[in-house]
Amino acid sequence: MNIFIDGAEGTTGLQLEQKLSALDGINLMKLGDDRRKDINARREYLNGSDAAFLCLPDAAAREAVSLVNNPKTVIIDASTAHRTAYGWAYGFPELSEEHYRAAAESNRISVPGCHASGFNALVYPLIKAGIVDRSERLTCTSLTGYSGGGKAMIADYENGDNPRRGARPYALGLTHKHLPEMRHVCGLEHPPIFQPIVTDVRQGMLVSVPLAKNAELIWETLNRHYGGNISVMPLNVCDALGMEEMNGNDGMEIFVFGGTNQTLLTARFDNLGKGAAGAAVQCLKIRRGIQ
């Protein structure tokens, strides 16, 4: 199978290359540094591939899609550009049978955002079960490793005489780019009030949603809904969580804490795994029937 990564030099692209290289039957088509921004070379490789991964800024991702005229090329887009777009499958197959089937059948698959992956994993099943109403005004906090910010942020934290230290809340204007897919996928009438926080941990993610609802009922609902790649941990299993325990793993753990009238939900995963490259490779495997 011929695979092309458009944007292979970025953080997600490098992770993708590593993960794809470990699979049998994969031929990675690589453009040299002198040709990777050549639009004609990119068009040739995009159309000559069985599947193309887009690890690009939104505008460049849209341009890449416009270059593809081969109906057999599967495009798996890791950018924000197509996550709520008509005709694109949302690449989170565990959410429902419909999501799995869309990923298995579509030639246009959008990889979820990292923060949105945690939020949607926690909230979507509760909306579907009628425990959370679509009109509710939800809140969400997300701790993330700095590698999710790409090369520039990695350099800020790791290089120079004064690397950044400590946690930094950001997107304080409440317009984070993952909000549209959080609202769209869960069918919410209002976007959640979302507080992302980048930490000085390189990788790892904890996405939390508090609810004024019965914890046992929520745990039972999530435990029924998921299996396989997403693990629902025992109710109130611990009193503290680390961010890094899922690093290097492409799955997700869901925790439910609380009692009769209060619940705290938390999803733990690798922001470069299930939050990025791992999810993209999972979509390829489902679409192409790779074991």
Which positions are catalytic?
Answer: 114
> What residues contact residue 32 under an 8 Å CB cut-off, 6+ apart?
none
The 3-state DSSP class for residue 121 equals: helix
Q: Which residues contact 85 (CB under 8 A, 6 or more apart)?
A: 110
CA distances from 232 to 27, 94, 117, 229, 245 (A): 36, 13, 15, 10, 15
In this structure, the strands spanning 27-29 and 2-6 are parallel
What is the strand order of the sheet 108-110 is part of?
A: 27-29, 2-6, 51-54, 74-77, 108-110, 89-90
Whose CA is closest to 276, among 24, 61, 11? 11
Tell me if 53 sits within 8 A of 74, measured CB to CB. no
Length of the chain counted residue by residue? 291
Containing H/E element for 264?
Answer: strand 263-269
Q: Which amino acid is at 25?
A: G
Q: Which two tokens stand for residue 11?
A: 């953080």
Residue 134 three-state SS? coil
6 close to 46: Cβ distance less than 8 angstroms? yes
CB distance 101 to 172 below 8 Å: no
